[in-house]
Amino acid sequence: MSLSRRDFVNRSTAIGAGVLIAGSAEVLATAPGAIAAPAGGEAPAPETVEAARCATGYGELLPDPDGILALPRGFRYQIITYTGKTTLVTGESTPSNHDGTAAFQGKHGGTVLVNNHELRGARADWPHPVPLLEGHVYDPGAAGGCTVVEVRKGGKQVREWVGIAGTSTNCAGGATPWGTWLSGEETEDKAGKNGFTKDHGYIFEVDPHDQDANRDPKPVKAFGRYPHEAVVIDPQRGHAYLTEDAAGPNGLLYRWTPPAGFKHGKGKLRTLADDAGKLEAFKVFDSHGTFIDDLSRAVKIGTTYGVDWVNVPDRDAKTVSVRKQFKDGEVTRSRKLEGMWWGDGGFYFVASFARAESPVQHDGQVWFYNPARRTITLKVLLGVNTDVNGDHGNFDGPDNITVSPYGGLVIAEDGEGVQHLFGTTDDGRTFPIARNDLNIGTAEKPEFSEFTGVTFSEDGHTLFANIQEPGIMLAITGPWWRLNHRGGHGYDS
One pLDDT digit (tens) per residue for the chain, 493 residues: 444 444 444 444 333 322 222 222 222 333 332 222 333 334 444 444 444 444 589 999 999 999 999 999 999 999 999 999 999 999 999 999 999 999 999 988 899 999 999 999 999 999 999 999 999 999 999 999 999 999 998 677 789 999 999 999 999 999 999 999 999 999 999 999 999 999 999 999 999 999 999 999 999 999 999 999 999 999 999 999 999 999 999 999 999 999 999 999 999 999 999 999 999 999 999 999 999 999 999 999 999 999 999 999 999 999 999 999 999 999 999 999 999 999 999 999 999 988 888 999 889 999 999 999 999 999 999 988 777 676 665 788 899 999 999 999 999 999 888 899 999 988 878 999 999 999 999 999 999 999 999 999 999 999 999 999 999 999 999 999 998 776 533 222 2
In a domain, 491, yes or no: no
**pLDDT, tens digit (0-9, with 9 covering 90-100), for 37-94:** 333 334 444 444 444 444 589 999 999 999 999 999 999 999 999 999 999 999 999 9
Residue-level pLDDT at 481: 92
In a domain, 489, yes or no: no
In a domain, 487, yes or no: no
Residue-level pLDDT at 492: 27
CB 466 within 8 A of CB 473: yes
In a domain, 144, yes or no: yes
CB 53 within 8 A of CB 31: no
How many domains would you assign to the chain? 1
CB 39 within 8 A of CB 383: no
Q: Which residues pair with 307 in a beta bridge?
A: 284
CB 365 within 8 A of CB 299: no
Q: Cα(446)–Cα(448) distance, rounded to whole angstroms? A: 7
For the chain, state the CA radius of gyration.
21
Residue-level pLDDT at 366: 96
Sheet holding 462-467, edge to edge: 76-82, 472-477, 462-467, 451-456
Residue-level pLDDT at 392: 61
Contacts of 297 (CB under 8 A, 6+ apart): 23, 24, 359, 360
Of the chain, the end-to-end C-alpha distance in Å amounts to 35
Residue-level pLDDT at 272: 98
CATH number at residue 68: 2.120.10.30
Q: Cα(483)–Cα(460) distance, rounded to whole angstroms? A: 13
Rounded to the nearest 5°, which phi and psi values hold at 108? 55, 40
Residue-level pLDDT at 31: 30
Note the pTM of the prediction, 2 decimals. 0.89
Distances (CA, A) of 436 to 97, 178, 270: 15, 33, 39
Cβ-based burial of 216 (10 A; exposed 0-12, middle 13-18, buried ≥19): exposed
In a domain, 399, yes or no: yes
* Total residue length of the chain: 493
In a domain, 425, yes or no: yes
Long-range contacts of 319-324 (CB under 8 A, 24+ apart): 321/188, 321/226, 321/246, 322/224, 322/225, 322/226, 322/244, 322/252, 322/281, 323/226, 323/244, 323/246, 323/249, 323/250, 323/251, 323/252, 323/281, 324/249
Instruction: Tell me which residue range forms the domain holding 68.
Output: 5-482
Q: Cα(81)–Cα(95) distance, rounded to whole angstroms? A: 9
In a domain, 70, yes or no: yes
Residue whose C-alpha is closest to residue 32's, from 23, 22, 43: 43
Rounded to the nearest 5°, which phi and psi values hold at 353? -165, 170
In a domain, 490, yes or no: no
